[in-house]
Structure 1
Amino acid sequence: MPVTSVTTDPDALTLTMVADFPVPPARLWKAFTDPDQLQRFWGPPGWPATFEKFDFVPGGIAVYAMTGPRGETSRGRWEFLQIDDPAGYEVLDSFADESGEASADMPASRMTFAFTATDAGSQLTSITYFPSVEALEQLVGMGMVEGATMAMNQLDTVLQDLRDYAQGKGTELELLDDTHVRITRLVNGPRELVWRAHHDPELIRQWMLGPEGWTMPVVEVDPAVGGSYRYEWEPEPGQPGERFGFEGETLLSEAPRRAVTTERMIGMPGEGTVNDLSLYEEDGVTLLTVLIEYPDKETRDMILATGMVDGMETSYARLESLVLA
């Protein structure tokens, strides 16, 4: 993980985050000053950011919105106070209302970003200066440390060429906490087609089969928000296993970038999962990311123990070979 330390100092009213990266400072500067790159990591998992405005000059304003898995929105606003290309910059960081103006109900803070060279590449030092102990405690209590750490730990993907970062690694699993996992897979094909492959019933039947010897007799998909889906699998004649299926609802749909759905096993009691699918295309390949939220650690461990990731890899390999070829 890139983040090496996060410290709060109530006496100095500061929160300091340090992270190291295997790239030169100029590359780090680019990631923090290009809104298209910045929004790929600024929001923590499950809350990706979209920069609606980015006027990168002293006195300029940046406005962004982070959208949660159920469509919730949290807005932020930066006023650029100082810019020292390529060493770093300083902003006045505020919560924002729907018009992009600073919220009067929440404290604002001053935040600096500094990029320095190291023997291994570069180091980011970000310091947040709070107006009071109460403001520091309030924002830290809202999860500022955890959110910022998870956001910065996504930056590796942005700094490297996507093919170099993910090609050949197959389906990878990352445990984020007791109830969240992140699954990534580089798919050799354009995002538009990968999106279609996840929402067109005829395409789904071709690849979302898991192990060999299974079929999908039921594929029903309504990708609109509030719509439902239902998938059922059964073994081919002579193959072991019993018919099973999953169903759920669409919570968020931003074609062809992001879709959030619930998922539960048909006929099983208890809570299901929330699956947050995002697609990012670069140079003709698509990074597929699924953030899964489980109701508890026990459910997470039970499902992962079924060989879920191996089954997903089999399906994604079939997606490339049959649908995208």
Structure 2
Amino acid sequence: MPITSVTKDHEALTMTVVADFAAPLKRLWDAYADPRQIEQFWGPPTYPAKFTRHDMVAGGRTDYVMTGPNGEKSPGHWDFLLVEAPHRFEVEDGFSNEDGTDNTDMPSMRMTFEFEATDGGSRLTTVTHFGTADQLEQLLAMGMEKGMTLAMGQIDDVLADLASFAVGRATNADVLSDTQIRVSRVIRGTVDQVWQAHHDPELMKRWMLGPDGWTMPICEVPVNVGDAYRFGWAPEDGSDGAFGFDGELLESNPPHREVTTEHMTDTDYPSTTNEMTLTAVDGGTLLSLVITYPNAEVRDMVLATGMTDGMETSYARLEADVLASA
């Protein structure tokens, strides 16, 4: 058990949890920065979590849902107040409604996470600040201390699992819900480089091609929220088979996050919503793409096309042909 102490201060309205780990400081930080990893331990074993959003920058937000043994849902969120990688971040932690909006009927808490190197590895000090004595008692009575203890007891296993999250692992898709998947890959390059590669038309035409044998003659990139975009591909040999996608830029926070719609051009196929987040991790930049489909049938149909294989070919080309020469 990594937790070495839990201290409740009823006068200061705080609860402080100290945990020590054998892993290096940066490895521990990455476990909290990477949604694939933090969802392995943020919820207790009987209430595992799925993170549908995790943009770990000041002003960013995290949305997650913990699911109980009988299917009961407990959604929550973080609003990031401060991020100083890899030493400290601070959030406003709260409960959410089923539609993802803040549940203002329940208390929120300010939480600080302090990371430091130690002789044996690293230490995490988590301080939860409650608004009132009644809130402190209410949340403790709900099992907050026990829940944190059980959840953090899972971190060692995540820290030891380097292969599942390391640079060099192929593009992977995780099912988050009936309508959402998260596509993930660590790309060898900085956050700024990866963002630029997704927004410079000349760079995009070099790597965003899927399997060999394709060109990208249409690459109209949106600049401002509300702008439309259009991408189109055609076979290199001039044969039939051209296709494309169009959509709208809904949100943009360079170089960390953007949200777009996506629709296959000249079809009546339903649109998706795509949320791309870029996070600095050991070895490069973690690209997380959360795609929301209209229903599970469309989600499964798209996954069955081998979508991630084509994306992996493109990302490998991005590393080898674009970022390696940057």
Q: TM-score, normalising length from structure 1?
A: 0.61
Q: Which residue of 2 aligns with 1:52?
A: 81
Return 163-172 or 206-215, whichever deviates more: 163-172
Alpha-carbon shift at residue 29 of structure 1 (Å) = 11
Deviations 1:163-186 (A, max 9, x none): 872223211111122111111111
Q: Which residue of 2 aligns with 1:64?
A: 92
Does the CA-based 8 Å contact 2:251-2:258 persist in structure 1? yes
| Distance in 1, Cα, partners of 2:277 & 2:124 | 32
Alpha-carbon shift at residue 162 of structure 1 (Å) = 7.3
Does the CA-based 8 Å contact 1:232-1:246 persist in structure 2? yes
Alignment-mate amino acid for residue 77 of structure 1: M
SS at match of 2:145: strand
Does the CA-based 8 Å contact 1:225-1:252 persist in structure 2? yes
Alpha-carbon shift at residue 260 of structure 1 (Å) = 1.1
Does the CA-based 8 Å contact 1:263-1:272 persist in structure 2? yes
Q: Which residue of 1 aligns with 2:284?
A: 285
Deviations 1:92-148 (A, max 9, x none): 667xxxxxxx9xxxxx734326776xxxxxx5269xxxxxxxxxxxxxxxxxxxxxx
Does the CA-based 8 Å contact 2:163-2:169 persist in structure 1? no
Q: Which residue of 2 aligns with 1:78?
A: 110
| Distance in 1, Cα, partners of 2:81 & 2:129 | 17
1:301 matched to 2:308? The reply is no
Q: Which residue of 1 aligns with 2:139?
A: 109
Deviations 1:199-240 (A, max 9, x none): 11111101000111111111001132212211001112255x
1:124 matched to 2:146? The reply is no
Q: Which residue of 1 aligns with 2:242?
A: 243
Q: Which residue of 1 aligns with 2:274?
A: 275
Alignment-mate amino acid for residue 176 of structure 1: L
Deviations 1:280-303 (A, max 9, x none): 113451111111111101111111
Alpha-carbon shift at residue 77 of structure 1 (Å) = 2.8
Distance 1:79 1:266, change over 3 A: closer
Does the CA-based 8 Å contact 1:186-1:285 persist in structure 2? yes
| Distance in 1, Cα, partners of 2:318 & 2:29 | 31
| Distance in 2, Cα, partners of 1:270 & 1:281 | 34
1:26 matched to 2:20? The reply is yes
1:207 matched to 2:237? The reply is no
Does the CA-based 8 Å contact 2:33-2:279 persist in structure 1? no
Distance 1:211 1:113, change over 3 A: same
Does the CA-based 8 Å contact 2:167-2:284 persist in structure 1? no
Moved over 6 A (4+): 28-31, 34-37, 86-90, 160-164
Q: Which residue of 1 aligns with 2:221?
A: 221
Alpha-carbon shift at residue 91 of structure 1 (Å) = 4.0
Deviations 1:9-63 (A, max 9, x none): xxxxxxxxxxxxxxx95139999xx999756557931252443169xxxxxxx64
Alignment-mate amino acid for residue 265 of structure 1: M
Alpha-carbon shift at residue 65 of structure 1 (Å) = 7.5
| Distance in 2, Cα, partners of 1:65 & 1:114 | 15
Distance 1:26 1:286, change over 3 A: same
SS at match of 2:80: strand
Structure 2 stretches of 5 or more lacking a match?
A: 1-17, 43-49, 54-60, 63-77, 84-89, 113-122, 133-137
Distance 1:162 1:237, change over 3 A: same
Q: TM-score, normalising length from structure 2?
A: 0.61
Distance 1:289 1:235, change over 3 A: same
Distance 1:238 1:224, change over 3 A: closer
| Distance in 2, Cα, partners of 1:307 & 1:297 | 16
Alpha-carbon shift at residue 160 of structure 1 (Å) = 6.5
Distance 1:38 1:213, change over 3 A: closer
| Distance in 1, Cα, partners of 2:111 & 2:181 | 34
Q: Which residue of 2 aligns with 1:263?
A: 262
Alignment-mate amino acid for residue 184 of structure 2: T
Q: Could you say what the CA RMSD is over the residues aligned between the two structures, in angstroms? A: 4.1
Structure 1 stretches of 5 or more lacking a match?
A: 1-23, 55-61, 81-85, 95-101, 103-107, 117-122, 127-151
Q: Which residue of 2 aligns with 1:17?
A: none
